[in-house]
Amino acid sequence: MRTGPNSKKRMQTDTVRSTGRGITVRSRKTRASIIGRHTPQWWETEVKKHGVARCSTCGAYYVSGHWLFMPAALEKKFARIARGATCPACASERAHGVSAAEGELVVKGLSAADRPLVLQTIAAYAARERSRNPEARVLSVDVHGADIRVLTTQNHLAVRLGKKLDESRKGGKLEISYGEDDLPARAVWSAPRRK
C-alpha cells in the first residue's frame, strides 16, 4: 500500500476504478455503505465446514469447501474418514421441495415428434451438470400437452439448459429473464413453427 501525503486523499476520492473482476468501486466509504445495505443470501451466511463429509442422501463429498462426486478410486479412501452430513441441495430439496426452485425453463410449442428428443437433451445435459456440480439438479419436469416446464435448483442451470436447447434445436426463440438479485431466473424457449 502506498504511503505519503496523497495516499489518504486518494482513498477518499470518488473516482471509478476497476477491481479486475469487472466490478467498479467508487471509494471504500461508498463500497462499505453498499455492502451494509445488502441483505445476505444463504450462501453468504453459511459457515464453511472443515474436514471431509459425505451426504447421506446423494453421496456427494464435501472436501476443501466444495461439494463434489468422487471418482471410484478415491471414494474408498474418503469413505473411511468422512463424517455424515447433508449437502445444501438435498437439505433444501427436503425442506422446501419444488418451491426451492431457483430456475425455471419453459419449452413451448413442441410437436409430438420433437418432445422425446427435447426431453432427452434436457436429461443428458442435466446429468452432465450434476456430475460436475452435485448442487445443480433438476427438481421436476412437467409435460403438459405441447409444453414442458423444468424446475432447477440453480438459476444458471435453467439458463444453460435453455441455451443448450437453443443451440441444438435451430430456429427456436429463447427469452431469458432474471428476477431481483438474479433469483429466480426464467428461460422460455419457443419451438420453431413447422410448415
The residue ranges of every structural domain in the chain are 47-86, 95-190
Task: Tally Cβ neighbours within 10 Å of residue 119.
Answer: 16
Could you give the dihedral angle defined by the CA atoms of residues 133, 153, 51 and 75, in that order, rounded to the nearest 10 degrees?
A: -40
pLDDT at 122 over 50: yes
Calculate mean pLDDT across residues 70-84: 82
Residues near 1 by Cβ (< 8 Å), separated by ≥ 6? Answer: 7
Q: Would you say 74 and 61 are in contact if contact means Cβ atoms under 8 Å apart?
A: no
Please write the tens of the pLDDT for every residue from 25-49. Answer: 455 555 555 555 555 555 555 556 6
The neighbouring-strand residues paired with 188 are 106, 175
Task: Tally Cβ neighbours within 10 Å of residue 23.
Answer: 9
Predicted confidence band of residue 53 (pLDDT cuts 50, 70, 90): confident
pLDDT at 118 over 80: yes
Q: Which of 10-14, 35-39, 72-76 has the lowest mean pLDDT?
A: 10-14
Rg (CA), the chain: 22
Q: Could you give the CA distance from residue 173 to residue 175 in angstroms, rounded to a whole number? A: 7
Predicted confidence band of residue 67 (pLDDT cuts 50, 70, 90): confident
Residue in the structure block whose three cell numbers are 441455451: 163
Q: Would you say 83 and 51 are in contact if contact means Cβ atoms under 8 Å apart?
A: yes
Q: Is the pTM of this model over 0.75?
A: no
